[in-house]
Amino acid sequence: MSNIIEVKNLTKEFKEIRAVDNLSFSVAAGKVYGFLGQNGAGKSTTIRMLLTLIKPSSGSIEIFGMNLQQHRKEILSQVGAIIERPDLYKYLTALENLRIFATMSGIKITEKKLMDQLEEVGLADRANSLVKTYSQGMKQRLGIATALVHNPKLIILDEPTNGLDPQGIADIRNLIIRLSKESGKTLLISSHLLSEMELIADSMLIIDKGKKLVEGNVNDLFDPAETVVELKTTDDAAVFEQLQTSALQKYVQGKRNDCVLLKLHRNEVPFVMKELVKMDVNVISLHSKHSLEDYFLSLTTGHSHVEAIKN
Protein backbone atom coordinates (compact mmCIF):
# COMPACT_ATOMS: atom_id res chain seq x y z
CA MET A 1 0.00 0.00 0.00
CA SER A 2 1.58 3.31 -1.05
CA ASN A 3 -0.47 5.60 1.19
CA ILE A 4 -1.65 4.83 4.72
CA ILE A 5 -3.87 7.92 5.01
CA GLU A 6 -5.97 9.56 2.27
CA VAL A 7 -7.93 12.66 3.25
CA LYS A 8 -10.14 14.34 0.65
CA ASN A 9 -12.02 17.65 0.93
CA LEU A 10 -12.23 17.41 4.71
CA THR A 11 -14.24 20.19 6.35
CA LYS A 12 -15.25 20.79 9.96
CA GLU A 13 -17.52 23.63 11.05
CA PHE A 14 -18.38 24.69 14.58
CA LYS A 15 -21.42 26.94 14.11
CA GLU A 16 -20.02 29.99 12.31
CA ILE A 17 -16.37 28.88 12.55
CA ARG A 18 -14.80 26.75 9.82
CA ALA A 19 -11.92 25.09 11.65
CA VAL A 20 -10.90 22.84 8.73
CA ASP A 21 -11.61 24.01 5.21
CA ASN A 22 -11.67 21.55 2.27
CA LEU A 23 -8.43 19.89 3.34
CA SER A 24 -6.86 17.09 1.28
CA PHE A 25 -3.58 15.27 1.92
CA SER A 26 -1.99 11.82 1.91
CA VAL A 27 0.52 10.08 4.18
CA ALA A 28 2.89 7.51 2.65
CA ALA A 29 3.55 4.17 4.35
CA GLY A 30 6.66 3.96 6.53
CA LYS A 31 7.32 7.70 6.50
CA VAL A 32 7.34 10.52 9.05
CA TYR A 33 4.74 13.10 8.02
CA GLY A 34 4.99 16.56 9.57
CA PHE A 35 1.73 18.42 10.17
CA LEU A 36 2.53 22.11 10.64
CA GLY A 37 0.52 25.20 11.39
CA GLN A 38 0.22 28.08 13.80
CA ASN A 39 -1.98 27.78 16.89
CA GLY A 40 -5.60 27.64 15.77
CA ALA A 41 -4.68 26.51 12.24
CA GLY A 42 -6.84 23.38 12.50
CA LYS A 43 -4.21 20.71 13.25
CA SER A 44 -5.78 19.28 16.40
CA THR A 45 -9.26 19.35 14.89
CA THR A 46 -7.99 17.36 11.91
CA ILE A 47 -6.28 14.82 14.15
CA ARG A 48 -9.43 14.40 16.23
CA MET A 49 -11.34 13.61 13.03
CA LEU A 50 -8.68 11.05 12.06
CA LEU A 51 -9.25 9.36 15.43
CA THR A 52 -13.09 9.63 15.17
CA LEU A 53 -13.23 11.81 18.30
CA ILE A 54 -15.30 14.30 16.29
CA LYS A 55 -17.23 13.91 13.05
CA PRO A 56 -16.37 15.83 9.87
CA SER A 57 -18.94 18.22 8.45
CA SER A 58 -18.04 16.90 5.01
CA GLY A 59 -15.26 15.11 3.14
CA SER A 60 -13.78 11.63 3.43
CA ILE A 61 -11.01 9.85 5.35
CA GLU A 62 -9.47 6.55 4.29
CA ILE A 63 -6.90 4.75 6.45
CA PHE A 64 -5.28 1.48 5.36
CA GLY A 65 -7.43 1.72 2.22
CA MET A 66 -10.68 1.60 4.19
CA ASN A 67 -13.33 4.24 4.86
CA LEU A 68 -12.89 5.42 8.45
CA GLN A 69 -16.59 5.72 9.26
CA GLN A 70 -17.44 2.29 7.85
CA HIS A 71 -14.46 0.41 9.31
CA ARG A 72 -13.78 2.42 12.47
CA LYS A 73 -13.03 -0.45 14.87
CA GLU A 74 -10.81 -2.34 12.42
CA ILE A 75 -8.81 0.78 11.57
CA LEU A 76 -8.34 2.10 15.10
CA SER A 77 -7.10 -1.29 16.29
CA GLN A 78 -4.03 -0.60 14.13
CA VAL A 79 -3.55 3.02 15.25
CA GLY A 80 -1.64 4.32 18.27
CA ALA A 81 -2.06 7.95 19.30
CA ILE A 82 -1.24 10.57 21.89
CA ILE A 83 -3.30 13.75 21.95
CA GLU A 84 -1.57 16.46 23.95
CA ARG A 85 -0.09 14.96 27.14
CA PRO A 86 -0.50 11.22 27.76
CA ASP A 87 -2.93 10.05 30.45
CA LEU A 88 -0.85 7.99 32.86
CA TYR A 89 -1.38 6.54 36.32
CA LYS A 90 1.28 8.45 38.25
CA TYR A 91 1.09 6.30 41.40
CA LEU A 92 1.81 3.14 39.42
CA THR A 93 5.06 2.02 37.83
CA ALA A 94 5.82 2.25 34.13
CA LEU A 95 5.44 -1.51 33.79
CA GLU A 96 2.08 -1.45 35.59
CA ASN A 97 0.88 1.37 33.32
CA LEU A 98 1.79 -0.63 30.23
CA ARG A 99 0.08 -3.71 31.60
CA ILE A 100 -3.14 -1.73 32.16
CA PHE A 101 -3.07 -0.20 28.68
CA ALA A 102 -2.50 -3.63 27.15
CA THR A 103 -5.56 -4.94 29.01
CA MET A 104 -7.61 -1.92 27.87
CA SER A 105 -6.55 -2.65 24.28
CA GLY A 106 -7.85 -6.20 24.67
CA ILE A 107 -4.55 -7.89 23.97
CA LYS A 108 -2.58 -10.51 25.86
CA ILE A 109 1.09 -9.66 26.08
CA THR A 110 4.00 -11.21 27.97
CA GLU A 111 6.11 -9.38 30.54
CA LYS A 112 9.05 -9.72 28.15
CA LYS A 113 7.12 -7.91 25.41
CA LEU A 114 6.20 -5.14 27.85
CA MET A 115 9.85 -4.78 28.82
CA ASP A 116 10.78 -4.72 25.13
CA GLN A 117 8.40 -1.77 24.68
CA LEU A 118 10.04 0.06 27.56
CA GLU A 119 13.46 -0.76 26.12
CA GLU A 120 12.39 0.73 22.79
CA VAL A 121 11.54 4.06 24.42
CA GLY A 122 14.61 4.02 26.67
CA LEU A 123 12.84 3.34 29.97
CA ALA A 124 13.71 -0.28 30.73
CA ASP A 125 15.97 0.74 33.63
CA ARG A 126 13.07 2.66 35.20
CA ALA A 127 10.39 0.02 34.58
CA ASN A 128 9.61 -0.36 38.27
CA SER A 129 9.77 3.33 39.19
CA LEU A 130 6.57 5.20 39.98
CA VAL A 131 5.53 7.48 37.13
CA LYS A 132 5.25 10.41 39.56
CA THR A 133 9.08 10.32 39.79
CA TYR A 134 9.47 10.70 36.02
CA SER A 135 10.50 13.88 34.22
CA GLN A 136 8.09 15.28 31.64
CA GLY A 137 10.23 13.87 28.83
CA MET A 138 10.15 10.41 30.39
CA LYS A 139 6.36 10.65 30.73
CA GLN A 140 6.12 11.52 27.05
CA ARG A 141 8.23 8.50 26.12
CA LEU A 142 6.12 6.26 28.36
CA GLY A 143 3.02 7.69 26.70
CA ILE A 144 4.43 6.68 23.33
CA ALA A 145 5.12 3.20 24.75
CA THR A 146 1.43 2.90 25.74
CA ALA A 147 0.49 3.90 22.18
CA LEU A 148 2.79 1.15 20.87
CA VAL A 149 1.63 -1.61 23.19
CA HIS A 150 -0.69 -3.18 20.57
CA ASN A 151 1.97 -2.86 17.82
CA PRO A 152 0.08 -0.36 15.61
CA LYS A 153 0.98 0.29 11.98
CA LEU A 154 0.16 4.00 12.25
CA ILE A 155 1.20 6.34 15.09
CA ILE A 156 -0.35 9.81 15.48
CA LEU A 157 1.34 12.25 17.86
CA ASP A 158 -0.09 15.70 18.60
CA GLU A 159 2.69 18.06 19.78
CA PRO A 160 4.79 15.26 21.34
CA THR A 161 7.59 17.63 22.44
CA ASN A 162 5.38 20.28 24.05
CA GLY A 163 6.88 21.56 27.30
CA LEU A 164 10.05 19.48 27.06
CA ASP A 165 13.61 20.64 27.70
CA PRO A 166 16.24 20.29 24.94
CA GLN A 167 17.28 16.81 26.12
CA GLY A 168 13.65 15.66 26.23
CA ILE A 169 13.08 16.99 22.72
CA ALA A 170 16.19 15.17 21.45
CA ASP A 171 15.01 11.92 23.08
CA ILE A 172 11.61 12.11 21.39
CA ARG A 173 13.25 13.02 18.07
CA ASN A 174 15.55 10.00 18.20
CA LEU A 175 12.65 7.74 19.19
CA ILE A 176 10.56 8.92 16.24
CA ILE A 177 13.45 8.30 13.84
CA ARG A 178 13.95 4.78 15.22
CA LEU A 179 10.27 3.94 14.98
CA SER A 180 10.28 4.98 11.32
CA LYS A 181 13.64 3.73 10.11
CA GLU A 182 14.06 0.58 12.21
CA SER A 183 10.49 -0.51 13.00
CA GLY A 184 8.88 0.61 9.73
CA LYS A 185 6.10 2.55 11.44
CA THR A 186 4.17 5.33 9.74
CA LEU A 187 4.02 8.48 11.87
CA LEU A 188 1.90 11.60 11.55
CA ILE A 189 3.25 14.29 13.85
CA SER A 190 1.71 17.65 14.63
CA SER A 191 4.25 20.16 15.90
CA HIS A 192 4.99 23.86 16.15
CA LEU A 193 8.74 23.19 16.52
CA LEU A 194 9.67 23.70 12.90
CA SER A 195 13.37 23.07 13.40
CA GLU A 196 12.51 19.61 14.74
CA MET A 197 10.28 18.80 11.77
CA GLU A 198 13.11 19.78 9.47
CA LEU A 199 15.25 17.09 11.14
CA ILE A 200 12.77 14.20 11.21
CA ALA A 201 10.02 14.62 8.61
CA ASP A 202 10.15 12.98 5.18
CA SER A 203 7.24 15.06 3.92
CA MET A 204 4.97 17.68 5.40
CA LEU A 205 1.74 19.61 5.21
CA ILE A 206 1.48 23.27 6.19
CA ILE A 207 -2.00 24.60 6.93
CA ASP A 208 -3.31 28.00 7.95
CA LYS A 209 -6.85 28.84 9.05
CA GLY A 210 -7.92 25.29 8.18
CA LYS A 211 -6.66 25.47 4.59
CA LYS A 212 -3.74 23.69 2.98
CA LEU A 213 -0.92 26.00 1.95
CA VAL A 214 1.60 23.42 0.71
CA GLU A 215 2.24 19.69 0.90
CA GLY A 216 5.20 17.70 -0.32
CA ASN A 217 8.62 16.20 0.25
CA VAL A 218 10.70 18.27 2.67
CA ASN A 219 13.69 18.38 0.34
CA ASP A 220 11.50 19.56 -2.54
CA LEU A 221 9.72 22.20 -0.47
CA PHE A 222 12.78 23.48 1.29
CA ASP A 223 15.72 23.95 -1.06
CA PRO A 224 18.77 25.24 0.86
CA ALA A 225 19.69 27.27 -2.22
CA GLU A 226 16.43 29.18 -1.86
CA THR A 227 16.44 31.92 0.72
CA VAL A 228 13.89 34.15 2.41
CA VAL A 229 15.10 37.74 2.51
CA GLU A 230 13.88 40.33 5.00
CA LEU A 231 14.05 43.77 3.44
CA LYS A 232 13.82 46.74 5.81
CA THR A 233 13.43 50.22 4.37
CA THR A 234 12.49 53.72 5.52
CA ASP A 235 8.94 53.17 4.22
CA ASP A 236 8.08 49.48 3.93
CA ALA A 237 4.43 50.02 2.98
CA ALA A 238 5.33 52.24 0.03
CA VAL A 239 8.17 49.97 -1.08
CA PHE A 240 5.91 46.92 -0.90
CA GLU A 241 3.48 48.61 -3.33
CA GLN A 242 6.33 49.78 -5.56
CA LEU A 243 7.73 46.26 -5.82
CA GLN A 244 4.42 44.92 -7.15
CA THR A 245 5.03 46.59 -10.53
CA SER A 246 8.80 46.21 -10.67
CA ALA A 247 11.26 43.65 -12.01
CA LEU A 248 11.30 42.17 -8.48
CA GLN A 249 7.57 41.40 -8.44
CA LYS A 250 8.03 37.61 -8.74
CA TYR A 251 10.16 37.52 -5.58
CA VAL A 252 7.72 39.31 -3.28
CA GLN A 253 6.06 37.11 -0.65
CA GLY A 254 4.36 39.65 1.58
CA LYS A 255 4.94 41.84 4.62
CA ARG A 256 5.82 40.78 8.14
CA ASN A 257 6.10 43.20 11.04
CA ASP A 258 8.50 45.93 9.90
CA CYS A 259 9.89 44.33 6.75
CA VAL A 260 9.08 43.11 3.24
CA LEU A 261 9.60 39.40 2.55
CA LEU A 262 11.26 38.21 -0.65
CA LYS A 263 11.98 34.62 -1.72
CA LEU A 264 14.68 33.90 -4.28
CA HIS A 265 17.73 31.82 -5.12
CA ARG A 266 20.75 33.02 -3.20
CA ASN A 267 22.59 33.73 -6.49
CA GLU A 268 19.91 36.31 -7.29
CA VAL A 269 20.57 38.44 -4.20
CA PRO A 270 23.10 40.72 -6.02
CA PHE A 271 20.54 41.35 -8.79
CA VAL A 272 17.90 42.30 -6.21
CA MET A 273 20.29 44.73 -4.54
CA LYS A 274 21.10 46.42 -7.87
CA GLU A 275 17.39 46.76 -8.72
CA LEU A 276 16.64 48.31 -5.34
CA VAL A 277 19.37 50.91 -5.97
CA LYS A 278 17.86 51.69 -9.40
CA MET A 279 14.45 52.15 -7.75
CA ASP A 280 15.89 54.62 -5.22
CA VAL A 281 14.73 52.46 -2.33
CA ASN A 282 16.19 53.60 0.99
CA VAL A 283 17.40 50.24 2.31
CA ILE A 284 18.09 49.93 6.02
CA SER A 285 18.97 46.24 5.86
CA LEU A 286 18.73 43.18 3.63
CA HIS A 287 18.85 40.05 5.78
CA SER A 288 19.00 36.60 4.17
CA LYS A 289 17.51 33.66 6.10
CA HIS A 290 17.14 30.05 5.04
CA SER A 291 15.47 27.79 7.57
CA LEU A 292 12.21 25.88 7.59
CA GLU A 293 10.86 28.40 10.08
CA ASP A 294 11.54 31.25 7.67
CA TYR A 295 9.86 29.33 4.88
CA PHE A 296 6.86 28.61 7.11
CA LEU A 297 6.53 32.25 8.14
CA SER A 298 6.85 33.40 4.53
CA LEU A 299 3.83 31.23 3.74
CA THR A 300 1.63 32.10 6.69
CA THR A 301 2.27 35.85 6.51
CA GLY A 302 1.97 36.30 2.74
CA HIS A 303 -1.25 34.53 1.75
CA SER A 304 -1.73 36.48 -1.45
CA HIS A 305 1.60 35.13 -2.68
CA VAL A 306 1.29 31.51 -1.65
CA GLU A 307 0.51 30.37 -5.18
CA ALA A 308 3.92 31.60 -6.31
CA ILE A 309 5.55 29.23 -3.84
CA LYS A 310 3.26 26.31 -4.62
CA ASN A 311 4.05 26.62 -8.31
What count of other Cβ atoms lies within 10 Å of the Cβ of residue 11? 16
DSSP string for residues in 51-66: TTSS--SEEEEEETTE
Highest mean pLDDT among 3-12, 76-85, 172-181: 3-12
Q: Note whether 27 and 152 are same-domain residues.
A: yes
> pTM to 2 decimals?
0.76
Q: Note whether 135 and 237 are same-domain residues.
A: no
Residue 306's domain spans which residues? 226-310
Q: Note whether 55 and 202 are same-domain residues.
A: yes
Q: Note whether 88 and 237 are same-domain residues.
A: no
163 or 294, which is more confident? 163
Q: Is the pLDDT confidence value at 306 over 60?
A: no
Give the up-direction half-sphere exposure of residue 293: CA atoms within 13 A in the CB hemisphere: 8
pLDDT at 2: 84
CA pair distance 60, 258, nearest whole angstrom: 41
Digit-coded pLDDT (tens) for 98-133: 999 888 888 888 899 999 889 989 899 999 999 999
Number of H helices and E strands in the chain, helices first, is 12, 14
Q: Note whether 159 and 284 are same-domain residues.
A: no
Where among 197, 218, 239 does a domain terminate?
A: 218
Q: Note whether 19 and 132 are same-domain residues.
A: yes
The CA-based dihedral angle spanning residues 48, 49, 50, 52, taken in that order and rounded to the nearest 10 degrees: 90
pLDDT at 156: 96
The structural domain count of the chain equals 2
The CATH number given to whatever domain includes residue 106 is 3.40.50.300
pLDDT at 25: 95
Contact 132/96 with Cβ under 8 angstroms? no
Q: Measured between alpha carbons, how far is residue 286 from residues 59, 216, 230, 276 in Å?
A: 44, 29, 6, 11
Q: Note whether 248 and 202 are same-domain residues.
A: no
Digit-coded pLDDT (tens) for 248-290: 988 887 777 678 888 888 788 889 889 999 999 999 988 776 5
Where among 218, 234, 253 does a domain terminate?
A: 218
